[in-house]
A and B are shown apart, each in its own frame.
Chain A
Amino acid sequence: MENKEPLSPHIQIYKWQISSLVSISHRITGIINIIVITLVCLLASLLSLGENNYEIIYLFLSSLVGKFFILGITWSFSFQILSEIRHLIMDLGYGFELKITKITGLIVIFGSIFLTVFFFLVGKNFF
């Protein structure tokens, strides 16, 4: 007999928690970072092929899209680092109380934005 029992709705209806948001962002930024690291390696090997390549890369990175790209990956790496620290603490068995997971989650989210701005200002020789 055909099994016609429907599947109850899941991700469509489940309310996002701070902890689940941080968890999925951790995965997404992780994937982005791997792609970015590969790209950086490619750029480095391009540089070894001559100075023309340097020009092209420099032009791209100083364009508006390029700057947005750099800012984006700065955030992605900041998020990943903070979230990884949170994971390490959890692996030691700490920080599982609901309130604390919320606080550490918020620290990761706002901390990553703070770090991005910080790195941006460092790059601008603000300090």
Chain B
Amino acid sequence: MVQLNLPENSKVKKGKYFKDRTGSKNLKKVNIYRWDPSSGENPRIDTYEVDMDNCSSKVLDILNKIKNEIDPTLAYRRSCAHGVCGSCAMNMGGKNGLACTKPHSEIDGDIDIYPLPHLKVRKDLIGDLDGLYKQYKSIEPWLKSNSKSESEEIFQSKEDRKKLDGAYECIMCACCSTSCPSYWWNGDKYLGPAVLLQAYRWIIDSRDDEKQARLKKVADELKLYRCHTILNCTSACPKGLNPAKAIAEIKKMLATANI
């Protein structure tokens, strides 16, 4: 259901202010969403003054600097720092992306950092992605082949392999799904752009023999057709992929296929 306002326990309050202690002239204000599960209080926005003269170029560098030098209680997911693992997905300057690949120079004025939108928050910038992983599992993202042989390769032509470009690169960071208003309101049933892109990836794989069954499975008013081409997903994807186009291709296949 469309619920525009946040529930009472999720209303964001004003938090602490961490004044700069380095005496730097080049300061930037960074507003970060904080929620401590042990406090029993509402989430708050803490503001940090960060010395930008001694900070590398990405938003993740700011977060690391804050955690290392100003406030060690800040919690956020991060791992590879190269846009490969998808751990540090969050909302920066009003748009989803990976903190490790997003240059902070692209954000004008104060930098606002929130967890991925419309998720249950575990702590600070860490959102609960269990629902998305369950949906990912539901599309059975593995090869289903009728081939009896277990030792022989299944060959694929260069053209067929090319079809997977733009789909296999997805790192499941959830930037797209959590940017989608349709997914906010119907996330329990609508699969969302990330999972549908993966569904598409297996539907068009020439080595897979379950294409019809896969198509039948996603052909559902709620699972698939809640995509209204809002296109927040494509503009959010940090890998430059196009989930909206993949969803449109699935719709097209369903419109022309005999199932």
The CA of A13 and the CA of B95, in the complex, are separated in Å by 8
B179 in contact (CB, < 8 A): yes
Chain B residues with Cβ below 8 Å from A9 are: 6, 10, 12, 33, 114, 117
Which of A5, A14, A97 contacts B120, CB < 8 Å?
Answer: A5
- Report the number of A-B residue pairs with Cβ-Cβ less than 8 Å: 107
A8:B230 contact, CB within 8 angstroms: no
A7:B252 contact, CB within 8 angstroms: no
Q: How many residues of A contact B (CB 8 A)?
A: 28
- How many B residues touch the partner, as a band? 35 or more
The CA of A101 and the CA of B229, in the complex, are separated in Å by 10
Which of A6, A8, A101 contacts B9, CB < 8 Å?
Answer: A6
A10 in contact (CB, < 8 A): yes
Chain B residues with Cβ below 8 Å from A8 are: 10, 33, 91, 114-121, 127
- Min Cβ gap B252→A in Å is 5
- Min Cβ gap B194→A in Å is 16
A106 in contact (CB, < 8 A): no
Chain A residues with Cβ below 8 Å from B119 are: 7-8
B179:A14 contact, CB within 8 angstroms: yes
The CA of A43 and the CA of B50, in the complex, are separated in Å by 64
Selected interface stretch from A45-53, A58-66, A71-79, A86-94: A86-94
B16 in contact (CB, < 8 A): no
B121:A6 contact, CB within 8 angstroms: yes
A38 in contact (CB, < 8 A): no
A6:B42 contact, CB within 8 angstroms: yes
A5:B121 contact, CB within 8 angstroms: yes
B144 in contact (CB, < 8 A): no
Q: Please list 8 pairs of residues, one from A and one from B, whose beta carbons are closer than 8 Å in the complex, sorted by A's number.
A: A4-B40, A6-B7, A7-B119, A8-B127, A12-B6, A24-B230, A90-B248, A93-B252
Across the A-B interface, the 7 shortest Cβ-Cβ residue pairs: A15-B94, A6-B10, A96-B245, A19-B231, A10-B117, A10-B118, A5-B120
A residues near B (Cβ < 8 Å) are 3-15, 17, 19-20, 23-24, 27, 87, 90-93, 96-98, 101
B residues near A (Cβ < 8 Å) are 4, 6-7, 9-10, 12, 33, 35, 37, 40, 42-43, 91, 93-95, 112, 114-122, 127-128, 179, 181, 184, 228-232, 234-235, 242, 244-245, 248-249, 251-252
